[in-house]
Amino acid sequence: MEKRSLTLKDDQKQSNAFRLDGKVTVVTGAGSGIGRAIAQRFAREGAAVRLVDIDEKAAAGTAREIVQAGGDAAAYTCNVSDQRQVRELFQKLASQKPIQILINNAGISHIGKLETTTEADFDRIFHVNVKGIYNCMLSAIENMKAHGGGVILNMASIAATAGLADRFAYSMSKGAVVAMTFSVAKDYLAHKIRCNCISPARVHTPFVDDYLRKNHPGHEQEMFRKLSESQPMGRMGKPEEVAALALFLCSDEAAFITGTDYPLDGGFFNLHG
């Protein structure tokens, strides 16, 4: 069999495999942590990134960094749990250019089991982590349908499918994210809208540092080491690693992938214990 050598054109195609040139990408919770890393990585690949966060200063800071590096970014303040706010923002964005990629990353955490989760705790988690994603998908879907398709990527968690201690409400919310992902993927196949989710294990973000300062003052380094070693690979994930998987799933290289929950857990789910 004749062995075909790679041409320059082939090399260029491979090097541009994950490019998102000009694609309008909405990233919620983009002011810090995973959302910030995703916004930065997508901008480097040519996406027109629209950063959405309830923290106006954080979102503006990330957008400024991207623009200074030569990228296309703009920041918007929005509470994803408020459907009216979300609808108005998405209508504004869609009136400028079609929304091609939506990354639902905004979320909050809660520590507590059933008996230590108050009704207020439960409602707060549900409104941000579940209703927030519902609001954003609902506000983007018509625009995607009208312009020939798009990609939705939701941020779930291994808490959705693994029993984690003291994460009752948080686990509930992330289980709902996985279920919504599968449902949207199924219902919008004919409209060429792909929908997947990523389920990370513990990722080192500012949230982890804040948690350690509040709950383990004076023992932050010791607890950080314990949390890291609790994962089979012996460390926490990096926001940039989540961003890399997000880029693949939103690129044309993943055109045959939809309705899938991707674990990004350093071996936690299958190798733990």
Q: What amino acid occupies position 177?
A: V
Question: Residue 207: which of 105, 101, 66, 64 has the closest Cα?
Answer: 105
Task: Give, as one character, the DSSP assignment of residue 31.
Answer: T
220: which 2 tokens? 């932050």
Q: What sign for the dihedral angle of Cα 167, 234, 265, 130?
A: positive
Burial of 210 (0-12, 13-18, 19+ CB in 10 A): exposed
Is residue 176 classed as helix, strand or coil in its secondary structure? helix
Q: Please identify which residue in the block is written with the tokens 């983009």.
A: 30
Joined together, the tokens standing for residue 75 give 């920041």
Is 170 one of the catalytic residues?
A: yes
Residues in CB range of 204: below 8 A, 6 or more apart: 236, 237, 238, 239
Token digits of residue 174? 């992330």
> CA-to-CA distance for 106 and 231, rounded, in angstroms?
24
Instruction: Please give the DSSP secondary-structure letter assigned to residue 256.
Output: T
Catalytic: which of 134, 170, 188, 262?
170
Output the CA–CA distances (angstroms, integers) from residue 207 to 92, 106, 123, 214, 260, in the order listed. Answer: 30, 12, 20, 11, 26
d(CA 143, CA 30): 21
Which are the catalytic amino acids? Answer: 170
